[in-house]
Amino acid sequence: MSNGSQSVAAPAHGMMHYFKWAFIVTALGLALGVALGWQMTGTVTGTLGIFFICAVLAVLEISLSFDNAIVNANKLKDMTPAWQRRFLTWGILIAVFGMRIVFPLLIVVIAAKIGPWQAMVMAASQPEEYARIMHDAHLPIAAFGGTFLMMVGLSFFFDHEKDVHWVRWLERRMQKYATIRGIEAAIALVTVLIFARFLDPVESQIFFKSAIWGLVTFLLVEVLGGLLDSSQEMLQAGAKGGLGAFLYLEVLDASFSFDGVIGAFALTQNLFIIAIGLGIGAMYVRSMTIMLVEKGTLTQYRYLEHGAFYAIIALSVIMFLQSFVKIPEVITGLGGAALIGISLWSSIRWNRVISRPEA
């Protein structure tokens, strides 16, 4: 493994070393949840209920975001040590506070045409109205996030330089057609058009417009990332994956977060409880990312990335489906975990085969 990959943190002292800060944030977050529950309800039962919701939200975020950690690690291993540290410090702060707190507020600010402070007051004093606005905004969010994630997943498989195939009959064909310019965008747009046909004309227009913005955002991030990183390479010989890769990972994390943030409102309408639960989960994603990079897990298990990117494509389709049918978050989480689990099992089988002494 490269030196850049090894310099993310100090050498590991067992698996638990990587989760030290996640455990600390868990303890602080759950304690804050207990304090908030007591302040809101004044009863032991009510306090325990809010404590339980915080814990469930944390588990929900972890289950939905394990593939996020794998993709983060895939990008991080090619970044310079300085940019690795920046993403794992500033990047995670943006992810936790930006996506789990500011993003839900921003949706209400835009949808209700009110100021940020009024949105905060509404979250505290009118949680039902706040949740209703968030629910009404689900259609454009699902279209935007689903399109962006589909482009991320397809770009991994439509790569003419890709030389490791898990589902060989499919991935070899995808690699074969990878040289056709814009094939990923064409597939994503055709998928969007198919799903848009199941919506009424007004919703279909909103869905398609939001999906186009998701596609444009992906392309802009790719172009901007390439420009920024190429200019940095001219300034710093050998530098790889700098500001452009950082921006790519932030937008990617935002797209992953859409599902968790919207799904959280099915459990509670309180923004602050959601922020605590999803914030705890985000710290475990950070810890898993560091562990995957430091231990070289993606190198050791050759199909693990494939499972993650299949899970991303599946998540994008689920987000499209949620535009007109309710799909429980537990199904989304278990589906992604199952694909990653099967890819891990396939990787272990491969390792056993190649390590077996020849007869």
- Give pLDDT, residue 142: 83
DSSP 166: S
C-beta atoms surrounding 346 within 10 Å: 18
> Is the residue at 11 inside a domain?
no
> Is the residue at 2 inside a domain?
no
Q: What is the mean pLDDT, run by run of 10 residues, along the chain of 359 residues?
A: 42 66 88 89 86 81 72 76 79 70 75 79 79 79 85 86 84 85 91 91 90 88 67 46 71 68 68 82 81 77 83 86 78 77 88 69
CA 177 to CA 13: how far, in whole Å?
45
- Give pLDDT, residue 259: 62
> Is the residue at 241 inside a domain?
yes
CA 207 to CA 184: how far, in whole Å?
19
C-beta atoms surrounding 151 within 10 Å: 24
- Give pLDDT, residue 31: 92
**Is residue 51 classed as helix, strand or coil in its secondary structure?**
helix
- Give pLDDT, residue 73: 80
Tokens of 262: 């919207």
> Is the residue at 160 inside a domain?
yes
Q: Amino acid identity of 359?
A: A
> Is the residue at 10 inside a domain?
no
- Give pLDDT, residue 236: 47
Short-list 67, 222, 226, 207, CA closest to 145: 207
CA 278, 304, 321 angle in degrees (round to 5)? 55
To which residue do tokens 């209400």 refer? 108
Q: Amino acid identity of 157?
A: F
To which residue do tokens 């848009």 refer? 196
> Is the residue at 243 inside a domain?
yes
Burial class (CB in 10 A: 0-12, 13-18, 19+), 115: exposed
- Give pLDDT, residue 237: 40
Is the dihedral angle over the CA atoms 288, 295, 228, 305 positive or is it negative?
A: negative
> Is the residue at 6 inside a domain?
no
Which residue range(s) make up the domain with 20? Answer: 16-353
Short-list 79, 58, 73, CA closest to 304: 73
- Give pLDDT, residue 288: 82
Give the chain's radius of gyration (CA, Å): 21
Tokens of 136: 């009404």
Element (H, E) at 15: none
CA 213 to CA 255: how far, in whole Å?
12
- Give pLDDT, residue 229: 54
Beta-carbon contacts of residue 299 (< 8 Å; ≥ 6 apart): 1
- Give pLDDT, residue 230: 58
> Is the residue at 359 inside a domain?
no
Tokens of 300: 């050791």
Domains of the chain: total = 1
Phi, psi (deg, nearest 5) at residue 166? -95, -65
- Give pLDDT, residue 4: 43
